[in-house]
Chains A and B, each alone.
Chain A
Amino acid sequence: MSEVSGPTTDEANGPADSGVDRSLRERIRSNPRPALLWAAGALFLVALEFGRLLDGVLVFGQAIVFVIEGFASLPPYIGGNVEGVVAGVAGDTPGLLVGALAHDGTLLAVMFVVATLLQGYLPVRLDDVLGREMSRRRRIYGERLALTAILGAVAFALIYTPVGSIVDTEVGAWVTGVGILSDLPTLTSRELIPNLGHRTPGGGWEGTFMGLSPAWAWAIRNVLVWIYAFVCLAWVWRGYNVYRTYYREADWTPRDDTVKRFRNHYWGMFGLIIVFAFVVLAAFAPAISPVPADANIYEPYNHEFEYLNDDGEIETVYQGRANLLSESDGQGTVGPMSYDDFDRWMPLGTTPDGESMTTNLAYGARTSLIIALSAVGFGALIAIMLSLLSAYYRGLLDIIVVFTSDTIISIPVLVLVMMLVVIFQQSEHWLAEPLDGGVLLAIILGFAYWPGMWRSIRGPSLQVAEEEWVDAAKTYGQTPRKIMRKHMAPYIMSYIMIYASLLLGGIIITVSALSFLGLGITEPTPEWGRLISDGRPYIGTDSYHVSTIAGIVIALVVLAFNALGDGIRDAIDPEADVDGGDAGATAGGGGG
């Protein structure tokens, strides 16, 4: 059939055709200038903040280690349980044996799941390796089993042979290396532009950036942070444009229209900018805080600093002591844009505990962002998988999912979350430790919110499952997994994005509400809701700024997430009137 060529399309073999079959690398090689320019700029931006990036990498690595350890604790847990049960029935020796078998079985099952996920990325095919014909099913399962065996062998080598300790040492050395590199000065680091210092008896400042006052030093560092962040954003946008103009093979894709519609959606853009600012606040919390969090919040009695006392002498004092004397609790107030008695610059005043509001807000943004993102991510994952499966297979599976989600939905979210939080925290479960309960909260919120997300995409899933292209894929034997991924999931993603961005705001509020009630995130991890609750008694006094500022920030971020959701929805929907002024018509859908 390949020799077939229409009479009028011979010229199609010409230049237009010959240039098409190239990989992205080849396309860049043939016209490297725009890509190189962009890459040079990107490298420069990365170099400016290389240390901070490595810090991020380390934190990310810790998170991954935590997740892997969580999974790794599964086989011993199941093995131990089985052992206990069997030992109670049949004596210790069989119990030990069966427990060990259950342990290994669980381990292998986990590895098989991992192998199934990895199988698609294998560089070689089993039938090529073995050099013989095999049916598709046999090949796929053969590959998965081979991968499981390899993973098992690696695990065995790591656990039972010296290889394990060698790898441990190696990884440790790398982590140390990265740790050292991450201390490199960055553009916005406190070392480069310090704002902590003390007044000199002569009237100037010592220890601050160029002898400027702490307020100015802090302001300069902050301006740099925001400039850097927005330049990065612009550069990413430019990169997308470079790719689209020079290297993308399709000269138009449906996504182009979506992007265009979003760009003209002012309400959505407003949301995007605020949300971006929120992310920057979280990411650059150490640079934005005038006083570092570990000194000011976590270990105030391990950190000292110098100040000029009223007698004109330089005196050393603990942060904790200074905090005690700087409380904004109605009696005394350190308001926004002022210094406390120890000449610490407090751009947003102090909390009722005398800590810096700015530091609390910035680090609290981290807490909120991590919880909200992981809760929504976790919930969305469940929702998408279940909605695809139930829309594709229907029948009993669908009914089970409906019943399950209805059961969860029938319990008020806040009650459900409070119940679970209390149960886990009282039993001092290991999940409750990280982030002072933040991770636990994220998982519980994800569990509580997936039925809502599942419902919001159930209709679209059922609809897309009825499309003829799904039938077409069936007629040529596409696997159900790929049909769901290629032909159904992309249509649901847009819906889940809208709902997720609305939900992000809702989750921030829920977390704040829980912290306000004394559940959720406990001291000392900074959290916005707790700021409001701490400042509430003083709302009628001079120290009104505590609750007010925290409340405004929460309201603004939630509003921005809703605006972003509206923008995405209108951008995705081709029928939406881009120029129309209906922006914000349905804002606020995700609250609580």
Chain B
Amino acid sequence: MSQETVTPDERPGRDTMVEVRNLKTYYEQGGLFGGTPVKAVDGVSFDIERGETLGLVGESGCGKTTLGRTLLQLEEATAGEIRFDGVDVTTLSGEELYEWRQNAQMVFQDPESSLNDRMTIGEIIREPLDVHDWKTARERKQKVRDLLDTVGLKREHYYRYPHQFSGGQRQRIGIARTLALEPDFIVLDEPVSALDVSVQAEIINLLEDLQDEFGLTYLFIAHDLSVVRHICDRVAVMYLGHIMEIGPTEELFSDPANPYTQSLLSAIPEPDPTSTKQRFTLRGTPPNPRYPPEGCPFATRCPVRIRPPEYEHLDEEVWEGIGTLREVLRERERAERTVRERIGELLGRESRFKSLDETYDELFGDVAVPEDVQSVLDDVADLVENDDEAAALALLAEEFASVCDGHADGSGGFDEDDEPIQPEYHSVSVSGRKSFCHRHAEAYREPDDVLDERHG
């Protein structure tokens, strides 16, 4: 990690509640059979102020739910700190953790799964109170009725069962349970994505009302950008375990700085048919979080990736082909050959690791590839023919990689021992919005310009 933190800006009147520093959550690390861990959250840092709603958006599998669960200590953090009011909760255990849990609660995504349907509504909402020995049994029951009121259900629902409620009502029950211990901080894990659109609005309004009433602080995890725009004060955009951009909602939506944010927002349909807004679609799928790219996590799909100066003006299609080729080679490098495949190869039979001819055909078949690029590609094909994917990748990197792929600029050299260079968080507006991209550095052109030029 070249960049440890987003430096919290020192504006007066800020009341920071949650400070997350360089948090990492890896799955299957040190598992029974070892192996490479899945880097679900790979070094994120941000603050949440008291009383605000921080949105967390990103594609499925980008690690946003894992981040929320780690904040509540449902997952164990691999590294980093989570400080609630100055206390690092990753170090808590036993009695302290049990006491702390009152302060932080979670609303779950699926109202079908978040309520134990063998218990009555009353028992469900009362359980947190029972666990924490809150006052007397009678007072607990009274409190549960009040909570039912608060979330807009009827007091008589105490003895009903979850089966008897609709999705929206069930989500209200879940919210009532969350509120039972009067927490300060609530993680909302896609609280409305499983609901009908008409019900979504009701729940969102309820959540906003409750926030005003009880002074709650929310971390709102969602992939629905319009909902996020509506409810959140600030938004963090996540991609492959990293926060790509974080800043005030309106600003981020109207003037995204990070190329990933731009791509994401470009996916929102424009209701205005006369709109001339340029749209481009992201190609490919996010890389496997077990083997993320070495430099910038978005480098493999970035529409404005920095290119080596000598190839700056290659065709868009050629770059696309080279990008895909690298992915293919990376896959092949990781894939293990079975004994049968090895024997098949020795006997000269075609295996799934066939030569690159077909791949080349597919990628560069109808594209004019310049001389110099073609010669590099031929060398690569030769190396692959000899099963030396590593060398092929190194060659590709030497020719076409840039700072985005984690290589020192201009050197072009590929040295295994070097720590790959990652982007830094650059401040992109007066409000303190941060973006995780090389292009904001002095030496490069801003993403906007490049985007216009390449995809305009």
Contact = CB atoms under 8 A, between A and B. Distances in A.
Contacts of A160: none
A477 B161 contact: no
A472 B149 contact: no
Interface string A7-20: 00100110011001
A17 B155 contact: yes
A471 B106 CA distance: 9
Contacts of A252: 160-161, 164
A20 B161 contact: no
A249 B159 CA distance: 6
Given A469-B114, A478-B127, A399 B146 contact: no
A136 to B, nearest CB: 6
B150 A477 contact: no
A136 B108 CA distance: 27
A16 B156 contact: yes
A472 B115 CA distance: 9
Interface stretch (B92-100, B273-281, B397-405, B424-432): B92-100
A468 B109 contact: yes
A472 B150 CA distance: 20
B74 interface: yes
A303 to B, nearest CB: 54
Nearest to B98: A477
Contacts of A5: 146, 149
Nearest to B104: A475
B315 interface: no
A295 to B, nearest CB: 51
B132 A477 contact: yes
Interface in A440-495: 467-469, 471-479, 482, 486-487, 490-491
B120 interface: yes
A1 interface: yes
B320 interface: no
B154 A9 contact: yes
Contacts of B120: 250, 253
A471 B95 contact: no
Interface in B154-172: 154-156, 158-161, 163-164
Interface string B345-359: 000000000000000
A1 B101 contact: no
A249 B155 CA distance: 13
A2 B104 CA distance: 20
Contact of A137 (B95, B102, B213): B95
A482 B155 CA distance: 27
Interface in B70-117: 72, 74, 94-95, 97-98, 101-102, 104-106, 108-110, 113-117
B106 to A, nearest CB: 5
A1 B182 contact: yes
A75 B174 CA distance: 49
Contacts of A468: 108-110, 113-114
A4 B74 contact: no
A251 interface: yes
A121 B182 CA distance: 28
Given A472-B108, A477-B97, A4 B149 contact: yes
B143 A472 contact: no
A135 interface: yes
B146 A476 contact: no
B142 interface: yes
Contact of B128 (A9, A476, A490): A476
Given A2-B142, A135-B95, A20 B156 contact: yes
Interface in A365-413: 395-396, 399
B229 to A, nearest CB: 26
B138 interface: yes
A575 B158 CA distance: 27
Contact of A20 (B72, B127, B158): B158
Contacts of A12: 145, 149, 154-156
Contacts of A254: 117-118, 161, 163
A474 B72 CA distance: 10
B117 A1 contact: no
Interface string B174-201: 1001011110000000000000000000
A21 interface: yes
B291 interface: no
B273 to A, nearest CB: 41
B160 A250 contact: yes
Contacts of B95: 135-137
Interface in A1-56: 1-2, 4-6, 9, 12-13, 16-17, 20-21
A9 B101 contact: no
Nearest to B157: A12
B131 interface: yes
A471 B108 contact: yes
Nearest to B69: A471
B341 to A, nearest CB: 30
Contacts of B160: 250, 252
Contacts of B104: 475
Contacts of A399: 32
A29 B141 CA distance: 21
Nearest to A2: B146
B413 interface: no
Given A12-B156, A137-B94, A17 B108 contact: no
Contact of B113 (A249, A396, A467, A478): A467
Contact of B74 (A136, A253, A395, A475): A475
B73 to A, nearest CB: 8
A421 B163 CA distance: 49
18 contacts: A1-B143, A2-B146, A4-B146, A4-B149, A6-B149, A9-B149, A12-B156, A20-B156, A249-B158, A249-B159, A250-B120, A253-B120, A467-B113, A469-B114, A471-B108, A472-B114, A477-B98, A487-B116
CB-based closest 9 A-B pairs:
A476-B128, A12-B155, A477-B101, A468-B114, A250-B159, A468-B113, A469-B116, A468-B108, A477-B98
Interface of B: 32, 69, 72, 74, 94-95, 97-98, 101-102, 104-106, 108-110, 113-120, 127-128, 131-133, 138, 141-143, 145-147, 149-150, 152, 154-156, 158-161, 163-164, 174, 177, 179-182, 213-214
Given A4-B146, A250-B159, A467-B116, 11 more contacts: A6-B149, A12-B154, A17-B155, A20-B156, A21-B142, A252-B161, A399-B32, A469-B113, A476-B181, A486-B119, A490-B118
